Structure 1
Amino acid sequence: MMKTPGLAMTYAKLVMTTCFWGGTFVAAKLAVLEAPPFHAASFRFTLATLVLFSLVVLQWWGKGRQEPFPIPRGSRQIFGLFSLGLTGIFLYNAAFFTGLKFTSAANGSLVIAINPLVTALLSAVMLKERLRPSQVTGLVISFIGVVTVISRGSLEVLQQLSFNPGDMILLGAPLSWALYSILGKKVLGSFSPLVATAYATLFGTVLLIPAALTEELLGIGTAHFSLQGWLAILQLALLGTVLGFVWWYEGIQQIGPGRAAPFINMVPLFGCLFGVLLLGEQVTWPQLVGGILVVAGVACGTLSPSLRGTNENAQKVKPQQIKA
């Protein structure tokens, strides 16, 4: 039986994790003010890769080096980890940083909040998993919420399809993350979440660096980070990626994926809050209404009786990769 102080610490870490992830939208917005999107993403994941592999080495060393160091063996494992880097790191962050260059941090956090439901929908299509009625309802509610946000509550915007390009680009992020999550189910059969994420960031960084060099060759720009810019990169790499990842899976191990999943709903709330406090963004009524619908839809799709019961079997389940 877990002691109450330990349980309280677990909940506190999960709240802080969603706070870190909400903060990534502001940090990314600040980073792309001083560097092109792929430059910002490259700096973020180069640093994250170094730290993650340091953790992998420490974990392996702490176990007495009784097993071989975890490295991918054979083309199947290499391709699996490369596919995670391609979808969850390269494609996701291409949409994430590029979209935030043109739209607000608040809008970004609200659009990307539909990650869990897009994953459920794509899992139904690709893996033939059954969608529960609550998930279908949640998808519809969240879709209405996202449309409200990106249309700015205007029928004229919908009729003329004159959407903010950043909002439209950001829609690629939940799709990329859904593919990453589905592919991750197979890869996690061979590697721990920490090892899989370390290799995903490595392969993703290998793809991001040439893209950053291409930005420079095309005259799009290069990185000129101020102290604020470097602090944004550190937040993205250390808090949003490394520490957020570690604390999230600690939470899953302690209370199970079912009880941890609802905390994801706090990410857009923190994203909007930080956008207002740190960037001076104005929260409009379409964002407020759309945000409520998005969060309500995600809650409807994830807070089902079957999910609540998964915590009893948490140790038997490989946790699904979630937005980090």
Structure 2
Amino acid sequence: MLRMQRKHILLAVMVTAIWGINFSVIRIGLGSFPPLLLLALRFVLAALPALFLPRPKNISWPRMIAIASTLFIGQFSLLFLSMSHGLSAGLAAVILQAQAFLTMLFAAMAFGEKIRLNHIIGSLLAACGLALIATSAGGAQFTLIGFALCIAAAVSWAIGNVLLRGSGSADMMALMAWLSVIPPLPLLAMSAVMEGPERMVHALTHINLSGVFAVLYLAVLSTTVGYGVWGKLIREYPASKIAPFSLLVPVFGLSAPAVILGERFNAGELLGAVAVLAGLVVLIGSRAQLGKLLQCFGASAARKPI
């Protein structure tokens, strides 16, 4: 069985931290922009490196459009809309992680990847943790339409993961930049139809620092860095090895508001986070991997200044 290198485990954890904080940043950005316009601006900036990076030649435009439509347009338009329809950042971070189980299922169907006993046990344990977090976090900040939109976003992300895994040996930073070229025009058109030109113009002419920060974070860290690293990992390892790391996103997604907004954890959130972490350990699948993971965290803690 292919085992992950320590540096790749650390990179996977770093990406999940970026994506966990991402939910709080989206909430900040929605205070300045309507959701589809915010998403369009994100990909306008994320596409800028395509001016300097060559387009991957081994991936056809139809495949690139399919990946961008699911991994970017589908996932994030549905996610941003779910949050604009009342779903809290913490709950969105939790519910979206249904993609981890869906990615393993779709990869098994597409590539014949085996779903082992530890995958089933780990998924069930993590699902219990996600359910506990979902019932403990957010309080009244939950709507049925927001929940449905977020589940649809998870399905779109999982399909995008599988399409990305079949993308061959393309340079992932270049691929992410060129994939980001595709969403802006469709998203701007959707924004004009659904949000209205007046709302778009008002947002663009009343930009504040928090809005600028949100767009830069979403474009540079979450999209270019996050998906560049994630795409490299999911291409080098089976989906059953990489997708479970995304279960750390709700843990970071609940931690970020505590740091940024001064929110407190309750007992249910803490217990749920522990269950998610336990499920991740089972999904990773070996004592050696657990030892590497603990060594990575220990080394990071030792280097962190007090």
Same fold (TM over 0.5): yes
CA distance in 2, matches of 1:249, 1:287: 29
Could you state the TM-score of these two structures normalised by the residue count of structure 1? 0.71
Q: Aligned runs of 1:160-199 on 2, under 5 Å?
A: 165-186=145-166, 188-189=167-168, 191-199=170-178
CA distance in 2, matches of 1:306, 1:204: 42
Q: Secondary structure at the match of 1:171?
A: helix
Gaps of 5+ in 1: 1-6, 58-68, 312-324
Q: In structure 2, give the amino acid aligned to 1:56.
A: L
How many equivalent residue pairs? 276
Q: Which moved more, 1:129-138 or 1:141-150?
A: 141-150
Shift of 1:206: 3.1
Gap change, CA 1:229 and 1:285, over 3 Å in 2: same
**Cα-to-partner distance string for 1:102-154 (whole Å, 9 max, x where unaligned):** 2322222222334333200222244443211111122222333333333449x
Structure 1 residue 99: deviation in Å? 2.3
How do 1:16-55 and structure 2 match up within 5 A? 16-51=14-49, 53-54=50-51
Match of 2:61 among 78, 86, 92: 78
Counterpart position of 1:272:
254
- Residue 186 of structure 2 aligns with which residue? 207
Show CA shifts across 1:24-59 (max 9, x none): 1111111112222111111111100113x14524xx
1:116 match: 100
Sort the Cα spacing of 1:263 and 1:133 in 2 relative to 1 into closer, same or farther, 3 A: closer
Counterpart for residue 56 of structure 1: 53
1:267 alignment partner, SS class: helix
1:96 equivalent to 2:79? Answer: yes
Q: Distance in 2 between matches of 1:207 and 1:136?
A: 38
Match of 2:91 among 107, 113, 117: 107
The 8 Å contact of residues 12 and 230 in structure 2, kept in 1 or not, is answered as yes
- Unaligned regions of 5+ residues in structure 2, if any? 293-306
User: How do 1:299-310 and structure 2 match up within 5 A?
Assistant: 299-301=281-283, 303-305=284-286
The 1:297/1:112 distance shift into structure 2, 3 A limit, reads: farther
Structure 1 position 176, deviation (Å)? 1.0
Deviations 1:178-229 (A, max 9, x none): 100111222x226332333223222223322211111333877663432111
Q: TM-score, normalised by structure 2?
A: 0.74
CA distance in 1, matches of 2:114, 2:10: 33
- Note closer, same or farther for the CA distance 1:85–1:306 as it changes in structure 2 (3 Å cut): farther
CA RMSD of aligned residues (A): 3.6
- One-letter amino acid of the counterpart of residue 209, structure 1: L
Mean CA deviation greater in 208-217 or 232-241: 208-217
Residue 211 of structure 2 is matched in structure 1 by 229
1:16 deviates by 4.2
Contact 1:113-1:295 within 8 A present in 2 as well: no
Aligned to 1:139: 123
